[in-house]
Each structure stands twice: as structure tokens, then as C-alpha cells.
């Protein structure tokens, strides 16, 4: 084991407390393992094995640590999802805890679909919009049109919209093929009799603004390699099909099976107005079998955060595991995703994420009327991230936070790759220059501090729409995430925490002072009432009381992680510990009454979201991020950072803690325990190999 004493931190404007320790992996801990085991046992009286669950040990605070372990054990078993939305939180919270999260995320990240341009698919579940985006808004909610010859797997189609599959091809115009039948799995089955097959829908009517994509689910067997399928369209008042109006999509082979094609018609210059028909044209098709399961007008429900989150999750995985075969397989995909993000959102030119996708320019999907009601603006206000009902987008502060972290992660990774040619990492995907990414990250940080800061409220706005309007509903979570990422200037970070602590109040806010922590476990997600800025599908927000929705004065437990981390960064460990103690006191009361659901059945305590019904508080079921809270001990007070070579630790302990020990840390091929003492000494206990061997 090689120890290298350093000072400070890699983050901008770091707080300092004591010496930091840098540990690089070279026969990890084996030469001093016996000494360290004996030393650790004498300090904390604790023995651990490689297959034991993680433990948190602070002498004199046993009950608090037991509550943290209980909170971790409650949420860790469910803390996995292959959806890209979770890439920023769940790998971060679980990869260090054992082999199972490693296995799950290795498989999920390597299998994550990335299209030819570099967009990383969301993969939440099947929906009725862009197949690689968020499942909704659906074409029904958009006033669009869908033709389904099979609804197999479309749970929402049946349960929510009672959509019945078509039983005939009446009204369709099919040339160059015969109809072989309609199958409940394959949909409309066609046998090509000519070189060119055309499939024309019955007439319909909808605006192109709610149909930026034509989404086709189809299969083909026997198409020639030269085939270039395409979809064309007619606008209202037209009868002639123009050969120039075509959006191509990839040819399929037999082994592809049923596959989605999301055809970006919005990129075509003549695509504007009222749609009346689609026509699919398949060339070089003679003798082929073609299945058409569905053809719909699709809202662009892609998330601009996906590429950044994928880079973060992949770098998390590699830093925790040192899995070189994974990196060799995935590095090209990581680079491709980041190249796409930088180009698609004009990052080098704009110095932030600028989302210009149809429906994503940041304007509200609701028109507020004088009588207090709202009118939907179909096609506007499409969600962009975790807060799927809010129209982040345009000049997007939230997406810029994730981009900033991705730039820094990729810079570190490219630097490590360059330093270790023996790793054999290929140049797939267009390698980045590490120093260039670092410089770009600093440019983004400087722009963020200026562009998104509101001097009037002393906090960051969520986004600025295409018309120049900034949206500030007191986004507590976003502001705290920005601090954790290292984006604000010191005086900005101080202003944010002074607002949350009630040391200053923001005029016009619904929640001020102590009420910001009304839910006790953390701040309200927003502090200003919002009844006018949503996706159009959330059409009557005024009917739900303040605090009755997680995005409007409610709260999400998992994001209390960022609250504690921000306090540690700005106010120091004592303030962070006070906040964590409040969270644990609340959790103890909740558990004493049987858990979240029994506790919140009592009137006046708030309403829970989960499993479908809306509510103001998020703890369980789909709120997988609750597992984040205990991680403040590892990433916060211990300030443990896995690296490609080993780890760094920069402990910052509260005055009341004589030491902090965390056991069961799975790092690379070892399982270790780490103890940090108030005096600055750090002890490492090499427990065994990953998997308990």
C-alpha cells in the first residue's frame, strides 16, 4: 500500500479541516493488513467479514448509527433500476455495498441502448411516445393519432386508455403487398409482392407540434441490404405525395424482430402544419415479410440529461470496481454519449445546456386564464428530467449541473487512461483531451454562476425559456445539488443556505423561514406555489393544495442527502450533523409507528405518493433514491472518493464524534473498513476479497 499525504480537495473553493489521505491500489493493503486489522480492533472494538452488510460506527452515537443502518437496510434491496434516470443516484449509493449491485449495473450499463447519434435511451418502461424517451405524454394526451394492430406489452394502452387493437386494415391503402392477417403479437402481417411496398394510413388530423416523431414498431424478414425504408406525410389541403418529403429509418433483418423506429420528422424543413396522413415506403422488398405492430404520432419525450447521467454511472462503476473489460467495452459508448450531449445542446458555444427539442424550450404547457383556471397548450412543457411534470428545458440549469459533473468525470477518466497505456483501452468513440474537458467544465461553471443566478432571490433559477423568461419557484433540490456538484461561488452557496435556514426570506415565496422544513426530514422541494408552469397533461394544478404534490411544496426523502452534503460543504460538519440528527429523529418516530404508510395515514401529516396515486411526499415504492441518505457518512463525513487507482479520503468529522468507521466498503477487488479519527489519522482494515473469498 502506498500512502500519499496531500492537502485540500479537487473541488473549487474547498473547505479544509485536516490532512487528506490518498491511497493507490498496488497490492491493496496486503503488506500492512495484519497491522491494520489489529489497530482497527483496538480503536473501535469491531471485527467484520467480507460478506457482512455495511456498518456505520461512531462511539457515543450508537443509536443514531443504528437508525442509519436501518434506513440503509430498508431501501438498499430495492435500489436498482435499469432506467437511465437513476444513473446519477443509485449506482452512487450501492456499488460500494456488495457484488450484487456491481453485477446488476455492469449488465445494465453495457446493455443500455444508444442510438446512432449518441442519444442514450431512458428505458423507464413502454409508453405511447418516443420509445427511447419518457413513457408520456402519450399520443392520446397530445391530441395525436395512433394505429395499433397489436397492444401486446402496452399496459398503459389497455389500463389507462382502454385502447383496443385494430381488427382489420379497412381504410388503409396497401400497395405492393398482400395482407396475410392480423396477429395478436406481430400485428398486421404483409407479404411483399413488388419491389416497393407502400402502407398508407386512413386520414386523421393533428398538429405537427404534437407529432415531432413518427414512431413505428415493425419487423421484416427478407429485405435486401439496399433497402431504405422511409415515412412520408400529407398536410391539410394536400392530396399529392411529394417524393422530397421523407424521413428514412433503419432497415431491419430477420434477427431484429419487432423493433421501434423513431423517425425525426421535425428535422424536415417542410414539416409544419396540420398532419392528415402517413405513408410508409419500403423499397427492395420483393418477397419480404413485413409486420406492422403500430404507427403513432409521438411526442419527443427524450431527456437531455441522459448522456451526462450515463457517463456518471459508468465512471462510478469503473472507479468502484477497476473492471478493465467493462471499460474496454463501454468507453466508446461513454465518449459517444458525451459528444452527442456537447453537440446537440451547443455546449461549447453556449457554455451550458440549451435544449431546443420540440416541446422542450421551457415554455409552460398551460395558459393561465383570468378566472384562475388553465387551458392546455398542447405540445409545450414536456418534461426533461426527474421532475417530469415541470418544463425544465430551454436554457436548462438542471441539465447543466449533470453536464458539469459528467465533464469532470470524463476528464478524470481520460487522464487515467492516458496514464495507463497497459490497460489497453481502445480509442473508440473519439477520445477527449482531459485538459480540454477540465477547461470546458470551468467555463460552464463560470457561465452557470452568471446565467442562472437570480440576484432578486439569491438562488439559482430552474431554467430560462426560449423567450427569455426565467423560472424560479424556489427549487431547493436543484440548488442543493448545484452546491454538492461544486458549481456556485462561495457567496452564492452561502446565500442559498441562508435562505433555507430562514436567515433571510424571499419576497413572494409561499414558504418562508421554519416552514421550509415543514416536513422535518428535509426542505420542501419548492418554496413558491406553482399553478401555471407544467406540462399540459397536468391541467388543473390549482385543485391540489400546496404541499400536495412532490414538485409543489412537497418533499422527497432521498434528496435530503444533498441538503446534508451542502451543509457540510458550506457550514461545516457540525451543522451537517445537526441536520442529519433531525432526519434520524423523524425516522425513529416513523418507524415506531410502523413505517411510512401507517405513520402518514394520520390526518395533517401529509399525503404519500407511490404506486400510482399522486401525493406530496416521496419515501417508498418508486422513490428509490431514499437509499441516498445514509451515504452522507461515506461521501460526506468520511469524504471517500473511489478512483481508478484506489481511493482518496478527506475526513470532516463533527466535534461530537471521536471517530467514524465504515465497514463493508467494496473497492476494486477488496473489501475494506475505514476509520477516521478526529486527529486526522486514518486506518484501513483489509477484510478480504469482493465476494467474501
pLDDT level of residue 45 (50, 70, 90 thresholds): very low
> Has residue 351 got a pLDDT over 80?
yes
Same domain, 156 and 242: yes
Same domain, 501 and 575: yes
Is 133 among the domain residues?
no
Same domain, 203 and 95: no
Is 132 among the domain residues?
no
* Mean pLDDT score of the chain: 92
**C-alpha span between 487 and 272 (Å, rounded):** 40
**C-alpha span between 580 and 515 (Å, rounded):** 18
Is 76 among the domain residues?
no
Q: What is the CATH number of the domain that holds 210?
A: 2.60.120.430
Grid cell locating 133: 424517451
> Has residue 691 got a pLDDT over 90?
no
Same domain, 253 and 401: no
| Residues 228-273: tens digit of each pLDDT | 999 999 999 999 999 889 999 999 999 999 999 999 999 998 899 9
Distance from CA of residue 566 to its chain's centroid? 20
Q: Which of 234, 269, 298 is the last residue of a domain?
A: 298
Grid cell locating 356: 431546443
pLDDT level of residue 2 (50, 70, 90 thresholds): very low
Answer whether 91's CB lies under 8 Å from 313's CB: yes
Same domain, 461 and 610: yes
Distance from CA of residue 416 to its chain's centroid? 25
Is 72 among the domain residues?
no
Q: What is the CATH number of the domain that holds 472?
A: 1.50.10.10
CB burial string 299-332: b at 16+ within 10 A, e below: bbbbbbbbbbbbbbbbbbbbbbbbbeebbeebbb
Is 78 among the domain residues?
no
Grid cell locating 387: 421532475
Is 127 among the domain residues?
no
DSSP-derived 3-state class of residue 553: strand
Query: Average pLDDT in the 392-416 region?
Result: 98
Q: What is the pLDDT of residue 50?
A: 67
**Domain encompassing residue 481:** 86-121+303-634
**C-alpha span between 618 and 599 (Å, rounded):** 13
Same domain, 445 and 570: yes
> Has residue 5 got a pLDDT over 90?
no
Q: Are strands 555-556 and 617-618 parallel, antiparallel or unpaired?
A: parallel
Grid cell locating 605: 401529516
Q: What is the pLDDT of residue 411?
A: 98
Q: Are strands 640-642 and 646-649 parallel, antiparallel or unpaired?
A: antiparallel
Same domain, 55 and 105: no
| Residues 569-588: tens digit of each pLDDT | 999 999 999 999 999 999 99
**C-alpha span between 339 and 336 (Å, rounded):** 5
Q: Which of 298, 325, 349 is the last residue of a domain?
A: 298
Grid cell locating 62: 450508537
Given strand 659-667, what is the order of strands in its sheet? 56-57, 659-667, 670-677, 682-689
Confidence (pTM): 0.93
Query: Average pLDDT in the 176-202 region?
Result: 98
Q: How many of the other CB atoms lie within 10 Å of CB of 592? A: 9
Is 683 among the domain residues?
yes
Same domain, 294 and 315: no
> Has residue 523 got a pLDDT over 70?
yes
Same domain, 567 and 667: no
Same domain, 230 and 292: yes
Residues in CB range of 255: below 8 A, 6 or more apart = none
| Residues 430-464: tens digit of each pLDDT | 999 999 999 999 999 999 999 999 999 999 999 99
Domain total of the chain: 3
**C-alpha span between 148 and 217 (Å, rounded):** 9
Answer whether 395's CB lies under 8 Å from 225's CB: no
Please tell me the least confidently modeled range out of 2-6, 59-63, 503-507, 620-624.
Answer: 2-6
Query: Average pLDDT in the 176-204 region?
Result: 98
**C-alpha span between 41 and 355 (Å, rounded):** 54
**C-alpha span between 115 and 262 (Å, rounded):** 10
What backbone phi and psi angles, to 5 degrees, belong to 248? -75, 155
Same domain, 564 and 623: yes
Answer whether 447's CB lies under 8 Å from 351's CB: yes
Answer whether 250's CB lies under 8 Å from 282's CB: no
Same domain, 498 and 604: yes
| Residues 297-350: tens digit of each pLDDT | 999 999 999 999 999 999 999 999 999 999 999 999 999 999 999 999 999 999
Residues in CB range of 304: below 8 A, 6 or more apart = 341, 344, 345, 353, 355, 357, 360, 384, 385, 393, 396, 399
Query: Average pLDDT in the 643-671 region?
Result: 96
Half-sphere exposure of 674 (CA within 13 A, CB side): 27
Q: Which of 634, 661, 680 is the last residue of a domain?
A: 634
DSSP-derived 3-state class of residue 195: coil
Is 134 among the domain residues?
no
**C-alpha span between 584 and 71 (Å, rounded):** 9
Amino acid at each position: 500500500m502506498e500512502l500519499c499525504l496531500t492537502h485540500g480537495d479537487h473541488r473549487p473553493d474547498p473547505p479544509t479541516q485536516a490532512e487528506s489521505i490518498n491511497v493507490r491500489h498496488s497490492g491493496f493493503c496486503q503488506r500492512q493488513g495484519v497491522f491494520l486489522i489489529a489497530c482497527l480492533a483496538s480503536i473501535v472494538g469491531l471485527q467484520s467479514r467480507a460478506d457482512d452488510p455495511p456498518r456505520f460506527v461512531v462511539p457515543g452515537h450508537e443509536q443514531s448509527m443504528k437508525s442509519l443502518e436501518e434506513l440503509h437496510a430498508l431501501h438498499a434491496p430495492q435500489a436498482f433500476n435499469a432506467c437511465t434516470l437513476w444513473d446519477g443516484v443509485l449506482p452512487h449509493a450501492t456499488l460500494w455495498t456488495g457484488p450484487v449491485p456491481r453485477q446488476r449495473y455492469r449488465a445494465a450499463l453495457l446493455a443500455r441502448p444508444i442510438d446512432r447519434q449518441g442519444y442514450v435511451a431512458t428505458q423507464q418502461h413502454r409508453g405511447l411516445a418516443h420509445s427511447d424517451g419518457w413513457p408520456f405524454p402519450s399520443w392520446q394526451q397530445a391530441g395525436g393519432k395512433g394505429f395499433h394492430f397489436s397492444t401486446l406489452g402496452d399496459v398503459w394502452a389497455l389500463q389507462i386508455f382502454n385502447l383496443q387493437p385494430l381488427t382489420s386494415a379497412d381504410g388503409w391503402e396497401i400497395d405492393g403487398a398482400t395482407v396475410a392477417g392480423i396477429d395478436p403479437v406481430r400485428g398486421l402481417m404483409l407479404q411483399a409482392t413488388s419491389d416497393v411496398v407502400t402502407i398508407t394510413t386512413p386520414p386523421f388530423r393533428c398538429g405537427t407540434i404534437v407529432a415531432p416523431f413518427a414512431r413505428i414498431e415493425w419487423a421484416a424478414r427478407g429485405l435486401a441490404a439496399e433497402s431504405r425504408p422511409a415515412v412520408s406525410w400529407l398536410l391539410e389541403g394536400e392530396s399529392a405525395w411529394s417524393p422530397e418529403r421523407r424521413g428514412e429509418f433503419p432497415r431491419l433483418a430477420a434477427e431484429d424482430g419487432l423493433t421501434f423506429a423513431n423517425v425525426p420528422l421535425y428535422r424536415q424543413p417542410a414539416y409544419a402544419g396540420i398532419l392528415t396522413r402517413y405513408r410508409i415506403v419500403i423499397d427492395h422488398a420483393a418477397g419480404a415479410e413485413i409486420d406492422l405492430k403500430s404507427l403513432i404520432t409521438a411526442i419527443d419525450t427524450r431527456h437531455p440529461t441522459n448522456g451526462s447521467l450515463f457517463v456518471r454511472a459508468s465512471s462510478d462503476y469503473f472507479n468502484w470496481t477497476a473492471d478493465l473489460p467493462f471499460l474496454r467495452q463501454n468507453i466508446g459508448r461513454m465518449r459517444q454519449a458525451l459528444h452527442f450531449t456537447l453537440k446537440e445542446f451547443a455546449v461549447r458555444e453556449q457554455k451550458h445546456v440549451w435544449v431546443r427539442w420540440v416541446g422542450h424550450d421551457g415554455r409552460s404547457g398551460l395558459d393561465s386564464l383570468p378566472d384562475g383556471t388553465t387551458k392546455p397548450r398542447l405540445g409545450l412543457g414536456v418534461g426533461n428530467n426527474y421532475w417530469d411534470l415541470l418544463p425544465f428545458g430551454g436554457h436548462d440549469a438542471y441539465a447543466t449541473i449533470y453536464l458539469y459533473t459528467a465533464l469532470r468525470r470524463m476528464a478524470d477518466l481520460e487522464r487515467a487512461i492516458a496514464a495507463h497505456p497497459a490497460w489497453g483501452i481502445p480509442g473508440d468513440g473519439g477520445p477527449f483531451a482531459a485538459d480540454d474537458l477540465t477547461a470546458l467544465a470551468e467555463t460552464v461553471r463560470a457561465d452557470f454562476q452568471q446565467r442562472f443566478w437570480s440576484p432578486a432571490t439569491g438562488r439559482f433559477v430552474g431554467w430560462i425559456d426560449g423567450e427569455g423568461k426565467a423560472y424560479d419557484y424556489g427549487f431547493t433540490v436543484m440548488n442543493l445539488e448545484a452546491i454538492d456538484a461544486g458549481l456556485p461561488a462561495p457567496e452564492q452557496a452561502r446565500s442559498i443556505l441562508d435562505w433555507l435556514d430562514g436567515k433571510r426570506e424571499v419576497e413572494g415565496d409561499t414558504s418562508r423561514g421554519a416552514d421550509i422544513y415543514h416536513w422535518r426530514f428535509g426542505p420542501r422541494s419548492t418554496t413558491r406555489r406553482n399553478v401555471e408552469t407544467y406540462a399540459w397533461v397536468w391541467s388543473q394544478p390549482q385543485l391540489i393544495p400546496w404541499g400536495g404534490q412532490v414538485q409543489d411544496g412537497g418533499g422527497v426523502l432521498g434528496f435530503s442527502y444533498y441538503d446534508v452534503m451542502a451543509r457540510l460543504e458550506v457550514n461545516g460538519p457540525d451543522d451537517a450533523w445537526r441536520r442529519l440528527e433531525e432526519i434520524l429523529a423523524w425516522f425513529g418516530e416513523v418507524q415506531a409507528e410502523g413505517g411510512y404508510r401507517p405513520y402518514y395515514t394520520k390526518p395533517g401529516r401529509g399525503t404519500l405518493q407511490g404506486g400510482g396515486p399522486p401525493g406530496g411526499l416521496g419515501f417508498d415504492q418508486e422513490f428509490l433514491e431514499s437509499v441516498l441518505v445514509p451515504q452522507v457518512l461515506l461521501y460526506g463525513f468520511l469524504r471517500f472518493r473511489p478512483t481508478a487507482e484506489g481511493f482518496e479520503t478527506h475526513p470532516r468529522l463533527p466535534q461530537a464524534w471521536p471517530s467514524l468507521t465504515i465497514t463493508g466498503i467494496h473497492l476494486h477487488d477488496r473489501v475494506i473498513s475505514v476509520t477516521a479519527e478526529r486527529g486526522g489519522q486514518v486506518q484501513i482494515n483489509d477484510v478480504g476479497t469482493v465476494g467474501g473469498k
